[in-house]
């Protein structure tokens, strides 16, 4: 049963301006994501940060909480599986499977998240 859908888009220029701000990067990316981020070329860093930012915002929308008191960027981790598919995990997962898709253009990054209850019951 689908219990949440979220969509977000972010301008890559916005992330390009923030890429050198280590405090901002550390606020958005968890340590596992930061390790990957630090190994990327400058162009890929912008794509990676924008994509993760957008996917985490989309997840917060799908959960219905937004980013704030009950959910932070640090509560969400997105790491690619061996085939390159992004896999999202969160401390708010309660018997759910989260589907995530991230895409990029020259100007923007976007993500869609679908939360599926594995028990057939809504988590809300």
Neighbouring residues of 63: CB distance < 8 A, sequence distance ≥ 6? 4, 6, 71, 90, 92, 115
* Catalytic residue chosen out of the listed positions 45, 56, 61, 63: 61
**Annotated catalytic residue 61:** yes
Tell me the DSSP string of 14-51. HHHHHTT-HHHHHHHS-HHHHHHHTTS-HHHHHHHHHH
Give the residue ranges of the annotated binding site.
Answer: 8, 57
The active-site residue out of 63, 85, 99, 104 is 104
Closest by CA position to 4, among listed 57, 61, 48:
61
Determine contact, residues 58/100, Cβ cutoff 8 Å: yes
Binding residues for Mg(2+) are 8, 57
Q: Name the residues annotated as catalytic.
A: 61, 104
């Amino acid at each position: 049963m689908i219990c949440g859908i979220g969509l977000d888009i972010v301008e890559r220029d916005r992330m390009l301006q923030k890429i050198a701000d280590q405090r901002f990067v550390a606020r958005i990316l968890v340590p596992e994501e930061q390790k990957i981020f630090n190994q990327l070329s400058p162009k890929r860093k912008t794509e990676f940060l924008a994509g993760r930012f957008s996917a985490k915002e989309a997840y917060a929308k799908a959960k219905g909480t937004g980013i704030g008191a009950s959910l932070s960027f640090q509560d969400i981790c997105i790491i690619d599986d061996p085939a390159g598919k992004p896999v999202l995990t969160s401390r708010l997962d309660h018997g759910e499977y989260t589907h995530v898709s991230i895409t990029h253009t020259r100007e923007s990054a976007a993500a869609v998240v679908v939360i599926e209850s594995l028990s057939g019951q809504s988590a809300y």
